[in-house]
Structure 1
């Protein structure tokens, strides 16, 4: 892979907000590695037309050890001397069954925690280790959620994972502040976005999900940002010179 000056590694890039970020990063000339369950042919065509390097790695992030191992090994092979920046965006997310915790099968609880918390931790560890001696600006952006900062019934798994992501990011920020060319890290809540997750929330059983009316109301009132607009806001935060000053932030701040 012949790199441009900026390399971005992005999970969950095959659809929704992740796809919108991938498209905008390609348009900005970033070399891009996408880690998702599926590849996206339209994204590959867009990168080819723009002459921008793109790799797509089909990967189940519920089994993130393999993805982290591949990422670390791949980064170790690169000549990073021409890079100005290298960035990891942990965007992939999974909402298990919307129900009280006692009504969710153990396998779904475990899957939610693996995709939403374990995978970002493993990928971040691999990224930071492999790039520790690089001179390029190093950044880690973890896509969090307002639900990591607000408890909600029938969302215990997702809320817990995102709260864990926030606190994990705080810890990493303290570690990286002690290192030469330490990475700038941030766990960012992206606002409410019109994605498949919102469809899933609006389609939940009202008897099991007391907050369903709020999600229906946001859709009906036009309060949801499009994936494209949300992606623009997130990438604008990532490009700010003070990125990482607040390790836990909200795009609406």
Structure 2
């Protein structure tokens, strides 16, 4: 039996992932800070991962749901993420910086730590997917916070994967770069001022030219890949390679 868990499930890529898993007949637990549309075989859990202590509480709750479900193959997608603050260094708001690191880095790291610890005494197979970005390896003016959080999650993925391989574990931790999508995050990017984000014009042009992929397309690529292929621990996959490898 399979089960999928998706954080940030209420919109964008998260919503697309929920639909994609459900269409494959896989029940989904969706975690978000706002109510998610109800669907058959879908359970919504309300948690705000930006709040101190919440990721650990949520991780324990989710593990209880995993054990209750009887699933032996579980996929967890850390999708919840924030792009703010978009601003030059020297003008950053300290509270918004801290919130970004809580959501983008601390939450997935702390939750993964809980699950891999518990999975040592568990009969099933766990696959954890961290949603990353090309920003994790490319410096972008105005994105020092987002760049840094995604670089951190990339390294966390690579180290976790290495450590699992060292003990011949059946569990997997990978990352997935979804590229540019037509989501609320892109709207936030396009609404930035040129003073804060020098490349804002390029992102507006991507929207105007229709070069933003639909979140559902990106979600389908990941779900199809996970169901058909064995994954390499610690590897950072991109939507481009998964779409080419269909």
TM-score, reference length from structure 1: 0.88
Q: Contact 1:68–1:123 (CA<8 Å) still a contact in 2? A: yes
Name the counterpart of 2:244. Answer: none
Which of 20, 31, 44 is matched with 1:35 structurally?
31
Name the counterpart of 1:13. Answer: 9
| Residues 78/152 of structure 1: CA separation in 2 closer, same or farther (3 Å cut) | closer
Look up the SS of the partner of 1:234 in the other structure: helix
Look up the SS of the partner of 1:107 in the other structure: helix
Mapped to 2, the partners of 1:14 and 1:215 lie a distance apart of: 24
Mapped to 2, the partners of 1:77 and 1:22 lie a distance apart of: 17
Mapped to 2, the partners of 1:137 and 1:251 lie a distance apart of: 24
Name the counterpart of 1:95. Answer: 83
Q: Contact 2:73–2:126 (CA<8 Å) still a contact in 1? A: yes
| Residues 162/84 of structure 1: CA separation in 2 closer, same or farther (3 Å cut) | same
Q: 1:167 aligned to 2:155?
A: yes
Mapped to 2, the partners of 1:78 and 1:115 lie a distance apart of: 22
Residues 62-88 of structure 1 deviation map (CA, whole Å, 9 limit, x = unaligned): 126323234225525754795341111
Q: Contact 1:76–1:130 (CA<8 Å) still a contact in 2? A: no
Name the counterpart of 2:205. Answer: 217
Shift, 1:214, TM fit: 1.3
Shift, 1:186, TM fit: 0.8
Name the counterpart of 2:110. Answer: 122
Alignment of 1:23-62 (within 5 A): 23-40=19-36, 42=37, 44=38, 46-47=39-40, 52=41, 54-62=42-50
Name the counterpart of 2:119. Answer: 131
Residues 2-31 of structure 1 deviation map (CA, whole Å, 9 limit, x = unaligned): xxx111111000111101111121222222
Q: 1:153 aligned to 2:149?
A: no
Q: Contact 1:86–1:139 (CA<8 Å) still a contact in 2? A: yes
Shift, 1:246, TM fit: 5.5
Shift, 1:57, TM fit: 1.4
Shift, 1:61, TM fit: 0.7
| Residues 169/150 of structure 1: CA separation in 2 closer, same or farther (3 Å cut) | same
Q: Contact 1:80–1:136 (CA<8 Å) still a contact in 2? A: no
Aligned residues: 241
Shift, 1:251, TM fit: 1.8
- RMSD of the TM alignment (CA)? 1.9
| Residues 20/74 of structure 1: CA separation in 2 closer, same or farther (3 Å cut) | closer
Look up the SS of the partner of 2:174 in the other structure: strand
Q: 1:247 aligned to 2:243?
A: no
Relative to structure 2, which stretch is displaced further, 77-86 or 202-211? 77-86
Unpaired segments ≥5 residues, structure 2: 242-246
| Residues 59/77 of structure 1: CA separation in 2 closer, same or farther (3 Å cut) | closer
